[in-house]
Amino acid sequence: MSIRHGLLALLDRGPRYGYQLRTEFESRTGATWPLNVGQVYTTLARLERDSLVVPAGEDDSGHALYAITDAGRTELREWFARPVDRKSPPRDELAIKLAMAVGSPEVDIRAVIQAQRLHTIRAMQDYTRLKAQAIETGPTTRDEVAWLLVLEQLIFSAEAEARWLDHCEARLVRLAESIGQADDDASGQAGGPRRQADSTNSAAHRPARH
């Protein structure tokens, strides 16, 4: 999640202070990607450095406000218009774990897959319950609609992960079968000449019939 652009999107609605930005960010995303105030102010400092936001005085309570600049709005519009780059996907811990497990003979990779599948299905069920609750109360604000979209993305991702785990397990079964067949073939080929030699030697030592 781009915190940088997320904060710009919130500031596009008007000046905000740090804790307010944190609260609205988590409200918009359903706290799926929690922020701490330190992250917010660090990001604001970088945005100010890049001339995308500027200090905008204080509110009635003395909170330091920030406002988006024209350059910030241009950056934000370009971000909305630009597809998310999939050429360099973020590192996925599960994919890395399974890739490492395949090369580790002491690891029961099917047990790893089954444990992850159980966890993924439970998470999907939790997301589905939250979605049902959100629909029951009826999303009436932009933040509620945004949270519903995030929930549905999490559900679709969990479903895709469960299908991928099924695929991984099936592929491992086929791989084990093909390796077993290759070992049997190799054993048969190795045993063939020996059996032929044993047969020849046995014939050589049998007494001739008259």
The structure's pTM equals 0.70
Cα separation, 67 vs 76, in Å, equals 13
List, for residues 118-158, the tens digit of each pLDDT value. Answer: 999 999 999 999 999 989 988 888 888 998 999 999 999 99
List, for residues 164-206, the tens digit of each pLDDT value. Answer: 999 999 998 888 777 666 555 556 555 554 444 444 444 434 4
Distances from the Cα of 147 to the Cα of 1, 144, 190, angstroms:
14, 5, 64
